[in-house]
Amino acid sequence: MVRKKMLLPIELVNPGMKTADVVFNKEGNILLWDGVALDSLTIQRLKNVGIDEIYVQLDKPQEMSGFNYDEDSPERFRVEYKNDLNSTKQIFQSISSGRRIDVEATDKIVDSIVKKSESNRNIIDTITEVRSVDEYTYYHSINVSMLCMIIGKWLRLDEYHIRNLTQAGLLHDIGKSKISPELLNKPGKLTEDEFNEMKRHSEYGYNIVRESEDVPPEVAKAILTHHEKEDGSGYPMGLTGNQLNLYSKIITVADIFDAMTANRSYKSKDTPFKVFELMQHGSFGVLDPIVLNVFLDNITTYYIGAKVLLNTGENGVVIFMNKSNLSRPVVQVGDRYIDTSVSKIVRIKEFI
Ligand SMILES: [Fe+2]
Ligand SMILES: [Fe+2]
């Protein structure tokens, strides 16, 4: 079938439409790939960086008539996210009370996550939001699962691996269901014994999923090794990068990103850029460099077009990410372009 496409003024582009060509900014950098499902935030950000028109696909009759097809709407995303969160909670609670893992229930959550587009901005927006401390593990499990799914898609893995990866992300901390709630939610520093018990969640998780024939062995192995590090300094076995499977490497990147954004979100609004910088410069020897690069390269493009407040009191729009200095992008203020990686004065204070 020949795909129909149409050059549409940005004012007429609606959420749910898909790009029919790569979208470049005025500097010739890629803003969006071909085939990306657009949502209202993306469209707004394209307007912010001065894009006047883009090619959109017109495959679906409803797009031709009403332009109202919105499978990535924030409202729909929120409902699904809440449902998946509740189901995750039930899976954890049922294992805590001694039952076996309900693989059918995990499959339903995996179904709901894998059908989301890797360009769905609601995913990143939700992950960087403040979340309930009491239910941290459930939010974290869903978030890591969604991140694993998008990283898998960015790595162009096939459907089989993306499903496995999404399941592995969802269940990576399932062993925490065997840790006492007092220890799990203990505020402040843990004693050495407590810390050692906490570290055993990888093995507990492995034993929980190993009981089930429906969980592939490479998923079980990824759960066991999700705290191993490339340089062999992780646990429980001190394996090195060449002994870890791709699922495990991807979970580690997703796990660290979600944990860092969760910790920072209570403190400041500069979260995503600071976290990218910490991951870029602080993860040598810890994270797989290829997975990390693919993750950072793709995720940072989500922020092109974002509005920011500068320390000078001015508002600006992020127009270009500096690959070597991710927390210091180029910002447009009025008709000036400020490279915050070069300027000694101008810094981004927060997202607005
Ligand atoms: Fe963990
Ligand atoms: Fe985790």
CATH of the domain at 39: 3.90.105.10
pLDDT at 49 over 60: yes
262 in the same domain as 192 = yes
CA–CA gap between residue 219 and residue 162 (Å, rounded): 11
Confidence of residue 72 (pLDDT cuts 50, 70, 90): low
Residue 81 is assigned to a structural domain of this protein: yes
End position of a domain, from candidates 217, 248, 267: 267
Q: What percent of the chain has pLDDT over 90?
A: 51
Q: How far is the CA of 201 from the centre of ligand 1 (A)?
A: 7
CATH of the domain at 178: 1.10.3210.10
* CA nearest neighbour of 160 among 191, 114, 196, 125: 114
CA–CA gap between residue 261 and residue 178 (Å, rounded): 25
Residue 165 is assigned to a structural domain of this protein: yes
Residue 276 is assigned to a structural domain of this protein: no
228 in the same domain as 139 = yes
The confidence score (pLDDT) of residue 162 equals: 97
Residue 262 is assigned to a structural domain of this protein: yes
* CA nearest neighbour of 205 among 184, 240, 176, 180: 176
Q: In terms of residue numbers, what domain contains 228?
A: 74-267
Indicate which residue of 18, 116, 153, 176 is catalytic.
Answer: 176
Average pLDDT, the chain: 87
* Whether residue 176 lies in the annotated active site: yes
CA–CA gap between residue 36 and residue 120 (Å, rounded): 9
Residue 118 is assigned to a structural domain of this protein: yes
The confidence score (pLDDT) of residue 67 equals: 37
Structure tokens at 24: 């470049």
Q: How far is the CA of 173 from the centre of ligand 1 (A)?
A: 5
Q: Dump strand ranges (E) for the chain.
A: 5-9, 23-24, 30-32, 53-57, 307-310, 315-320, 330-333, 336-339, 348-351
Confidence of residue 179 (pLDDT cuts 50, 70, 90): very high
- Fill in the DSSP letter of residue 172: T
172 in the same domain as 320 = no
235 in the same domain as 207 = yes
The confidence score (pLDDT) of residue 222 equals: 98
The number of the ligand nearest the C-alpha atom of 140 reads: 2
319 in the same domain as 207 = no
Residue 340 burial (10 A CB sphere; 0-12, 13-18, 19+): buried
The confidence score (pLDDT) of residue 284 equals: 72
Q: How far is the CA of 140 from the centre of ligand 1 (A)?
A: 10
Helix axes 136-154, 74-96, angle to 10 degrees: 120
pLDDT at 61 over 70: no
Residue 221 is assigned to a structural domain of this protein: yes
Confidence (pTM): 0.80
Residue 173 is assigned to a structural domain of this protein: yes
16 in the same domain as 162 = no
The confidence score (pLDDT) of residue 342 equals: 92
For residues 326-337, average pLDDT: 91
The confidence score (pLDDT) of residue 69 equals: 38
The number of the ligand nearest the C-alpha atom of 144 reads: 2
Q: How far is the CA of 172 from the centre of ligand 2 (A)?
A: 6
237 in the same domain as 113 = yes
53 in the same domain as 96 = no
The number of the ligand nearest the C-alpha atom of 137 reads: 2
pLDDT 10s digits, 265-287: 445 555 678 888 889 887 778 99
Residue 281 is assigned to a structural domain of this protein: no
Q: How far is the CA of 148 from the centre of ligand 2 (A)?
A: 12
96 in the same domain as 222 = yes
140 in the same domain as 228 = yes
The number of the ligand nearest the C-alpha atom of 256 reads: 2
pLDDT at 216 over 60: yes
End position of a domain, from candidates 267, 284, 316: 267
Q: How far is the CA of 204 from the centre of ligand 1 (A)?
A: 11
Number of domains comprising the chain: 3
No. of helices (H) and no. of strands (E), the chain: 14, 9
End position of a domain, from candidates 220, 244, 267: 267
336 in the same domain as 193 = no
Structure tokens at 133: 């401390």
202 in the same domain as 104 = yes
- Fill in the DSSP letter of residue 213: T
